Structure 1
């Protein structure tokens, strides 16, 4: 009976020492998957050309591999979601700018024609009518001059507004291009890490 108890205690002590040694080896080793793999091989014995791997070390290594793959996949999904959101935001902003450009073009088209007595005239025809009316009606001349001054002010305002929007659009394109390049680099880095991990796992 005492012999059985002594054998049991010896086995427990051996298992405890093995686990303590494994924990110390793991703490000293490279924490990367490659380092863990090298540690597992270095701590394995060779018998007839075959490596005898400790099942506990193998299970721990496999758990770390799965955890790393899961983390990499989550990071990749997050990066793709971020890129999709950025692309949607860029598309929305481009649509808004296009709408403003259309409205501005419509305003410029309206400024290129002048309506007189319900009829649309080009500026050349309008000037001819004005000079004819100057001879006939001095009062009509004053009204038309006032209207022309008002239209000139509006044209200047529209032109300044267009230049401001065009400048903002150029700045936006530069920033969007920088963001796309940055996100593309981040995605490529994640892909490179994943490919490096896959190639390491195959060895």
Structure 2
């Protein structure tokens, strides 16, 4: 009795499983279509809907023609998409090349700007700021040295000039004194001469 119940239960389970599997297969087949879905689904539809002859499948020619047309259309769409992608890639590559050129130009301009910023133009020649500062301070130091030399020479010349003026003044004083003495002596000699003349006149 138990064996009979077990056999019936097993039979019902197998029958139910087979029925469910058949329904799932039928449902999957019903979802497949020759005119909708992907090429893969359309091939599955043709394979599953075709009649079986021994180990071969008998496929309707109309299905094959339809499947061929759909496949060619898909290939054309893929080819068009590939060409569009190539065009986009080419455009993007051109933009990348342009951006690279612009970046290179910008980098060159930046380098030149930094170089000009770090250098100074003197007499048409570019010099580094350090060299320019060194040259400027050297020129300033040279000018200060010349100024100090000029001041020293001026003071020396001024001292010599003052000494010469003082010597000239003393010489002029001595000359005036000598001239005064000579004039007095000349006047004295003239008076003496006049006195002698007068004596001679009186004696005669």
TM-score by length of 1: 0.47
Greater C-alpha radius of gyration: 2
Q: Which one scores higher on RCO, CA 8 angstroms, separation ≥ 6? A: 1
